[in-house]
Structure 1
Amino acid sequence: MNDLLDWILDTVQSVDPVLRTLLAGIGILLETSVLIGLVVPGDTIVLVASTAVEGPVEYLALALTVIIGALIGESIGFALGRWFGPHIVHSRLGRRIGEDHWRRAQLYLDRRGGPAIFISRFLPVLHSLVPLIVGMSTMSYRRFLAWTAPACVIWSFAYTTVGWLAADGYRELSRDLHWAGYLFVAVIALFLVGVWGVKKLLERSEAKHLSLDEPRPGTTEGPDAAASDPSIDDVTR
């Protein structure tokens, strides 16, 4: 296991650090972009790139590049929604995504307002659709950025930190432990299981807001909910 893992890590590390960092930034930019983000494994690209990090400087450079890439991708989605939103939704690609996904993203934003932007960054499919839906709303870009930036920072540091520390720890232990490779794989697997668990917990806790069911008469939901929930007022700012 150690020999195979050494070969994989050395191969990744042989890529020029600047190029490797830029590829990670581009990967997450595409992963957070509408439509493209549904097929680009940006999280995997970032995790692999982080295993090649050597030292705090490279680590910070990678983390910051990934944050910037994520924010650019989210901003592109917002801009496309502001300028071409309905055309994209009703395009051939938009129809392939499915009406239910678009409707869920719209209802979620209507019901939760700003928090929907933050939480959706950690949810599959929605993380690519919500920025475009926000762009189609009356929310200002400044308010959108205020909600999405913290989520991008958390996501970036989580992936880059785990990849860097796991690979660095493996390189130290592999000199003396023949099973260090299994430990590395276990750490990465536990992290990915943890990420999956967090997504499931969020989906469960937000199930009511993610539902496609229409609100019952007399309930406050959608644009009218802003009067009873201050956070939803962010959609109109």
Structure 2
Amino acid sequence: MAWIQEQLAAVPAWLALLIVFLLPMAEPSLPLLGMLLPSQTALMASGVLAHHGALPVSAAIAMAVLGALAGNVIGHLLGRRWGPRLAANLPARVTGSRGYRAALHTVGTYSARAVLLGRFNAALRTLVPVMCGAAGVPWARYLGLSLLGSLLWAPSCVAVGLLAGGSWQKWGGSGVLAAGSAVLLLTSSLPMLLSYLSSRRSQASAGLTTAG
């Protein structure tokens, strides 16, 4: 995160805020590139800078929320328009990955709720919006859950940076950052856990039906 923080600090505040908007927006809009974009880390770094007065806190949170929501909308539109073609052009290392399979299962099982469950997981955050569009998930519910997910995720990431920046001198910002990262890691594993439990229940139910 230190490198990203240095890059954001080296540019004007308006440009740093634009980056905070663009990175979350690009994640679901460009599925392959989105997997490489450190949007969550950038949001944490913006929180550190906001604590030190380099960025307005409210603006950092607003741009992060808007970027996340815009990315979900664009991803859904891309999925509706070119979903099958995009899936066919993805490399095998992506379509064969655990994250891709989890995204497919999450969308298939939870429909619009997948965009909320996947918000805290990097792979799902990138893939689920396009898959929701390709699956024809209704707009109204999808947008509502996208907004809710963005309002939960973006401020949480910025808040971790604020806490880290505020406690750096007092008792070690790295410790706060580690604790915040652990919380985000736990939340990111929730969609995978729900998907796994649902799969196990389906297998058990199928086994009972066969046995009966």
Alignment TM-score, normalising by the size of structure 2: 0.81
- 1:46-125 pair list within 5 angstroms: 46-53=43-50, 58-91=56-89, 93-99=90-96, 101-125=99-123
Task: Tell me the secondary structure at the aligned position of residue 150 of structure 2.
Answer: helix
CA contact (8 A) 1:108 1:210 kept: no
Aligned CA distance change for structure 1 residues 135 and 51 (closer, same or farther; 3 Å): same
CA distance in 1 between partners of 2:11 and 2:43 (Å): 14
- 1:201-212 pair list within 5 angstroms: 201-209=190-198
Matched, 1:155 2:145: no
Cα distance, 1:23 vs structure 2: 1.1
CA contact (8 A) 1:112 1:209 kept: no
1:21 to 17, 22, 27: 17
1:40 to 25, 33, 37: 37
1:192 aligns with 181
Provide structure 1 residue ranges, at least 5 long, that are not aligned to the other structure: 175-179, 220-237
Cα distance, 1:183 vs structure 2: 1.0
CA distance in 1 between partners of 2:5 and 2:80 (Å): 42
Q: Between Structure 1 and Structure 2, how many residues are aligned?
A: 202
Cα distance, 1:82 vs structure 2: 0.5
CA distance in 2 between partners of 1:65 and 1:143 (Å): 23
2:206 aligns with 216
1:216 partner amino acid: A
Per-residue displacement from partner, 1:205-229 (whole Å, max 9, x unpaired)? 4412367x8772788xxxxxxxxxx
2:189 partner amino acid: K
Higher helix fraction (1 or 2): 2
CA contact (8 A) 1:89 1:102 kept: no
Task: Tell me the secondary structure at the aligned position of residue 73 of structure 1.
Answer: helix
1:183 to 172, 181, 200: 172
CA distance in 2 between partners of 1:165 and 1:75 (Å): 30
CA distance in 2 between partners of 1:118 and 1:9 (Å): 27
Per-residue displacement from partner, 1:21-78 (whole Å, max 9, x unpaired)? 11111122223432221111111111112211156x8111110101111111111111
Cα distance, 1:122 vs structure 2: 1.6
CA distance in 2 between partners of 1:59 and 1:205 (Å): 33
Cα distance, 1:161 vs structure 2: 1.5
CA distance in 1 between partners of 2:11 and 2:136 (Å): 44
CA distance in 2 between partners of 1:117 and 1:10 (Å): 31
Task: Tell me the secondary structure at the aligned position of residue 121 of structure 1.
Answer: helix
Cα distance, 1:15 vs structure 2: 3.0
Alignment TM-score, normalising by the size of structure 1: 0.73
CA distance in 2 between partners of 1:137 and 1:44 (Å): 30
CA distance in 1 between partners of 2:142 and 2:16 (Å): 29
CA contact (8 A) 1:89 1:95 kept: no
> Share of identical aligned residues, percent?
23
Aligned CA distance change for structure 1 residues 146 and 12 (closer, same or farther; 3 Å): closer
2:40 partner amino acid: D
Cα distance, 1:163 vs structure 2: 0.9
CA distance in 2 between partners of 1:74 and 1:109 (Å): 14
Cα distance, 1:115 vs structure 2: 2.1
